[in-house]
Amino acid sequence: MGSSYRVDKSEIHGRGVFAIRQILRGERIGVIRGKIIPVFRLGRGPQYVIELDGGHLVPIENPRGLWLMNHKCEPNAVLVLKPGSVDVVARRKIPVGGEITCDYRPSYYEGRLRCRCGAANCAGWI
């Protein structure tokens, strides 16, 4: 089975990830890979990372694709953390053209970044 998503302009923020076919609840959409490192080894400049716990990060090695998922307070996908990778799994059915989103919280921003998700139960901050 080929890729189930594409990157395009998002109404939430910048670019986002969109389903190119119907994705079923519980289906693995894809995987984000990286090497687990301690926070103090993080380099300078913009980096995309997923925080595993208070002291370790997975810097994203495949810089195109799923890492562009936008945050939504009512996400349709969940991140499943594994050693060295993160699976992206559908929480519910995602229609063709639907934006694939995940909940960033808790996050590096610790409530300092304004949320733009537009969900009915939006927390207002990430």
Q: What is the pTM of this model?
A: 0.80
Of 29, 30, 60, the residue nearest 42 (C-alpha): 60
Q: Convert 4-16 to b/e letters by CB count within 10 Å (16 or more is b).
A: bbeeeebebeeeb
Residues 56, 31, 92, CA angle at the centre, nearest 5°? 110
Strands 37-38 and 49-53: unpaired
What residue spans define the domains of the chain?
5-102
Region 10-38: mean pLDDT is 87
Structure token pair of residue 63? 């810089």
Q: What is the pLDDT of residues 59-111, one digit of tens each?
A: 555 545 787 889 999 999 998 877 767 889 999 999 999 999 998 877 766 77
Instruction: Determine the 3-state secondary structure of 85 from DSSP.
Output: strand
Architecture of 5-102 per CATH?
Answer: Beta Complex (2.170)
pLDDT band at 1 (very low <50, low <70, confident <90, very high): very low
